[in-house]
Chain A
Amino acid sequence: MELLLATAIGLFTAAGLYLILRARTFPVVLGLTFLSYAVNLFVFVAGGVRVGAPPIVTGAPMTDPLPQALVLTAIVIGFGMTAFLIVLAVRLRRETGTDHVDGAP
């Protein structure tokens, strides 16, 4: 299972990196979304890969809660950032007539 997670993280990172190097704003937004997936998963698995051990105190063994708390806020903040970027992209198009990241093709 560790292998699956590691390859998925690698794949999301590669896709994210490729996309944020594109010249148009929209793929850059998508790329950042993919990078968020990768980073969130990375931090998540730092707490260990456990099945069926949610961090709820019941007496049974449970997984590490701290990375989850970090990732939870990261997901929400990531949404805020994505929303900001999307609106920035819309605004850029309105101002300059292009969706090129440099404001001019």
Chain B
Amino acid sequence: MSDARLLVLIVLLPFAGVMIPALLARRSRTTIAWASGVVPLAAFGLLVHLGRRVFAGEVITASRPWIEFLGLEIAFRLDGLAMLFAGLILAIGLLVIVYARYYLADEDPFGRFHAMLLGFMGAMLGIALSDNLLLTAIFWELTSLSSFLLIGYWSHRPDARTGARMALAVTGMGGLALLAGALVLGNIGGTLSISDLNLQGEAIRAHPQYPLALVLILLGAFTKSAQFPFHFWLPNAMAAPTPVSAYLHSATMVKAGLFLMARLYPTLAGSDLWFWMVGGTGLATLVFGAWVALTRHDLKGLLAYSTISHLGLITLLLGLGSPLAAVAAVFHIINHATFKASLFMAAGIIDHETGTRDMRRLGGLWQCMPITGVLAMVAAASMAGVPLLNGFLSKEMLFAETLALSGAGVAGYVVPLVATLAGVFGVAYSMRFIHDVFFNGPPKEFDRVPHEPPRWMRIPVEVLVVLCVAVGVAPAVFVGPLLHVASGAVLGGPVPSFSLALWHGFNLPLAMSLVAMVAGLALYFQLQRGGRLHAMTPGGWSGHRVYDDLVRLVVRLGEWFTGLAMAGGLRRQVAVLLATSFVAGIAPFVIADVPDRMFVFQTPMDPVAVTGWIVAAVATALVVAMHRQRFAAVILTGAVGLVVAGAFAHFSGPDLALTQIVVEVATVLLMLLALPHLPAVGALDSSALRRFRDAAFAIVGGVAMGGGAWWMMTRGGTTVSAEQAALSVPGGGGTNVVNVILVDFRGFDTYGEITVLAVAALGIVAMLSREPYSSPRPADAPLMLTLLARILLPFGLLVAVHLFLRGHNLPGGGFVAGLVTAATLVLIPLVAGRAFAERAIRIDFHRVTAAGLAIAGGTGLGAWAFGKPFLSSAHGHLDLPILGDLHWASAALFDLGVYLVVVGVLMLVLQGLARVVPRDTATGPGTR
């Protein structure tokens, strides 16, 4: 396979892998876990294979058009930044799968976890590799949806449901903003291709709509990456199982926003607006998150706010806008992913072993689990920025870059100071994570005796911690080349020379680190004295509360409107709907210019039409007057239907007339079958006033509709169908334009419609499935009817075949033929007796319906084999020995599908209703 295809495969593999847990549902958890783990492993292998070219400075792309007029392309691009992210997503995903095998309890649905995790992984890879902004937005929404499922994994817990909803609401809204921003940006740049946009950064930043695009896109990025003030969803998402938190909040979901900013860095960065918005938000988030993290008592709460703080740090670096700061941002993305994932996993181990995550109840665990303790300590030290670990290096770079602002007025002083302050808090909460859990007094009493976790649960943590140390000690060896290609991709140009060394001599950044270290330790132990820290309770204003108020407001508005429009039973609702549509129908006449009347009578009246009109009018009036006499009402309705069919026939609609007649027969049959199950005489429970009011309502509606029809018919005008009539023979290969439109020009529409029919039939079957079925009814049909049926049966089927075959050129076709076939098949019990029919007709009409849908869909898909769009048709002439020259069209196959669906649906419905035993349930007033 070509490298481009391999690239697409990387994105597709996890989506395909979603099936694995379903296929292995009965196997052991270990099997499922390993099978799921193969997916990221394989994709990672592909990535490494392709990565050799990326390290050599190449960019691998793959694209094919999707919806061209929207500018939507399936375009992927593997450069340094994409490779870094894809690598993080896959590698940490693999570790999380291994870890989760031992973390999840026996009663947790295991397969579902892996399916959702792999789906999420695929969506994240899509974001990382996409080269089209719309495609990015699609994958962005997919991550919002799949993270909603993952966060709400323990759906029986209210906090999980709330957290999942909140994450979806906040990131989903951000996704909408991103979509809007992508469109604005596409409008400015004239393309949605990210690599093309990145080439014209200067021009885009000079465009008057640039601020709008920037704000919208940043809204998307900030909500996803939990930047202040949208951060509140992240701590609430901690109701997820810890492996999910480790995955979503270290390497993937929350990094998507940062990734987007980095991806569009050449396009968007470099303006003052970017500096103030991104830098300002990052700085606020950095220090706010760090302080709140210190005051959380829940281990995961601490990690959540620390994550917010570190995301702020990276945002700040991106906002600074200097090339070196961008390098530092990429570096910290790597470092944060490694130490934060391991800390989340460590927190999960502690929770797993002690049954609590509350640091006020934890303590002294060092004696029970020293290995976990060492691992957590190293990772926490990296988070605090202790030398010899990777966190130290990127934090040094941050300090150095904030100092580089010295020329920028007030910001030159404020930013380094606030960054140092955040460093102080960072050291303090890292210290708390270790001291409050592993030390701080003797071991406490827990529900169970804590000890070291299973071997495989610790291995992922060990891998990550080893990485922290390796990068920390020898950064140039382990991360130098990767950082170089990734930064190059962010900057879209030359990478500034940076030195990844442990020791840069005594300088100001080192001093800032030292201050943070000493002051942080002092702060922590000061707060911890006398239990002050444990006594703190969070409170005050929070984004969470604003969110809650907003949600409550929306719900109350909805309730108010529902009460207004939907109270007082179904009839009132129907009346509200009708009144609304009446207003909507009248409105255009009031507010828009309407063309003048062109003529009054175009077609002269004839006696046949007048007779039909009189019959229909009388029958309609009778139905209204005596609708409670149900049998009579059904027959009269059928009569009106036949007149309508006559009107179709008279006014040049032979196909419609055929269809209407057969549908009328089927409808009347169905109503007659239903009558035994309903009261024979309807109750009279409308007051005279009500009937008068409804009549007035009906007359207004009737006048409006009749008037509208009159208005429309007396104004000519051109129609859109001349082209279709002209193309019918050369394009569709048929002279019956109606049929050609149905099976060819508007075939997709028809396909949707037969699907709806099939769905309706399934619904009917489902509704009837719980009813008792009768065995054959003893009474046989009258002799005359039986005789008639015998004659009609073969002819009926023959007529159906005839109608079907000629349908493409003369009135007929799949719909009509299907209706005739079903109406004929219903006769079989009359001809051969019910008992015989029950034995003989063993056709499963579910299968007929399904086969019809499959044939129609398959015909449509067949066009793909010839490189044409879905449902393109072909036609031609076939010279057969006996039949002679036969004209064929692929649309005939589609029509066969339509035919089978109609037959199947009708038979399912008629048979279903006919076999239900009438059961006298007469209890209410006004029944028989």
Contact A64/B721 with A72-B742, A82-B670 known, Cβ cut-off 8 Å: yes
B29-37, B111-119, B177-185, B643-651 - interface stretch: B643-651
Interface size of A as a range:
35 or more
Q: How far is the CA of A35 from the CA of B621 in the complex (A)?
A: 14
Q: How far is the CA of A13 from the CA of B706 in the complex (A)?
A: 8
CB contacts under 8 Å to B, within A43-75, are 44-58, 62-66, 68-69, 71-73, 75
Q: How far is the CA of A48 from the CA of B722 in the complex (A)?
A: 13
Contact call B721/A65, Cβ cutoff below 8 A: yes
Confirm or deny: B571 has a beta carbon within 8 angstroms of a beta carbon on chain A.
yes
Contact call B651/A50, Cβ cutoff below 8 A: yes
Confirm or deny: B106 has a beta carbon within 8 angstroms of a beta carbon on chain A.
no
Confirm or deny: B533 has a beta carbon within 8 angstroms of a beta carbon on chain A.
no
Pick from B605, B623, B728, B750: contact of A15, CB under 8 Å: B623
B651: chain A residues at CB < 8 Å are: 44-45, 49-51, 63
B695: chain A residues at CB < 8 Å are: 18
Residue among B647, B706, B909, B926 facing the most chain A CB atoms (10 A cut-off): B706
Contact call B679/A99, Cβ cutoff below 8 A: yes
Contact call B756/A77, Cβ cutoff below 8 A: yes
A8: chain B residues at CB < 8 Å are: 613, 616-617, 647
Contact call B724/A65, Cβ cutoff below 8 A: yes
Q: How far is the CA of A49 from the CA of B905 in the complex (A)?
A: 33
Interface size of B as a range:
35 or more
CB contacts under 8 Å to A, within B893-928, are 902, 905, 909, 912-913, 916, 919, 921-926
Q: Closest chain B residue to A6 by CB distance?
A: B710
CB contacts under 8 Å to B, within A73-94, are 73, 75-84, 86-91, 93-94
Q: Closest chain A residue to B705 by CB distance?
A: A13
A22: chain B residues at CB < 8 Å are: 627, 682, 686, 694
Contact A11/B637 with A75-B663, A86-B674 known, Cβ cut-off 8 Å: no
A97: chain B residues at CB < 8 Å are: 921-924
Q: In the complex, what's the smallest C-beta–C-beta distance from B98 to chain A, in angstroms? A: 50
Q: Closest chain B residue to A94 by CB distance?
A: B921
Q: Closest chain A residue to B741 by CB distance?
A: A69
Q: How far is the CA of A14 from the CA of B543 in the complex (A)?
A: 54
Contact call A76/B697, Cβ cutoff below 8 A: no
Q: In the complex, what's the smallest C-beta–C-beta distance from B201 to chain A, in angstroms? A: 49
Q: How far is the CA of A6 from the CA of B659 in the complex (A)?
A: 22
Confirm or deny: B683 has a beta carbon within 8 angstroms of a beta carbon on chain A.
yes
Contact call A84/B702, Cβ cutoff below 8 A: no
CB contacts under 8 Å to A, within B546-591, are 569-571, 574-575, 578
Q: How far is the CA of A50 from the CA of B481 in the complex (A)?
A: 78
B702: chain A residues at CB < 8 Å are: 10-15, 17
A10: chain B residues at CB < 8 Å are: 702-703, 705-707, 709
Contact A57/B729 with A77-B756, A93-B921 known, Cβ cut-off 8 Å: yes
B640: chain A residues at CB < 8 Å are: 12, 34, 37
Contact call B742/A11, Cβ cutoff below 8 A: no
Pick from B574, B720, B771: contact of A66, CB under 8 Å: B720
Confirm or deny: B701 has a beta carbon within 8 angstroms of a beta carbon on chain A.
yes
Q: Closest chain B residue to A65 by CB distance?
A: B737
Closest 4 CB pairs of A and B: A10-B706, A14-B702, A66-B721, A65-B737
**Which B residues fall within an 8 A CB radius of A?**
569-571, 574-575, 578, 600-606, 609-610, 613, 616-617, 620-621, 623-624, 627-628, 630, 633-634, 637, 640-641, 644, 647-648, 650-656, 659-660, 663, 666-667, 670-671, 674, 677-679, 682-683, 685-686, 694-695, 697-699, 701-710, 712-714, 716, 719-721, 724-725, 728-729, 735-738, 741-742, 746, 749-750, 753, 756-757, 760-761, 763-764, 767-768, 771, 809-811, 815, 819, 902, 905, 909, 912-913, 916, 919, 921-926
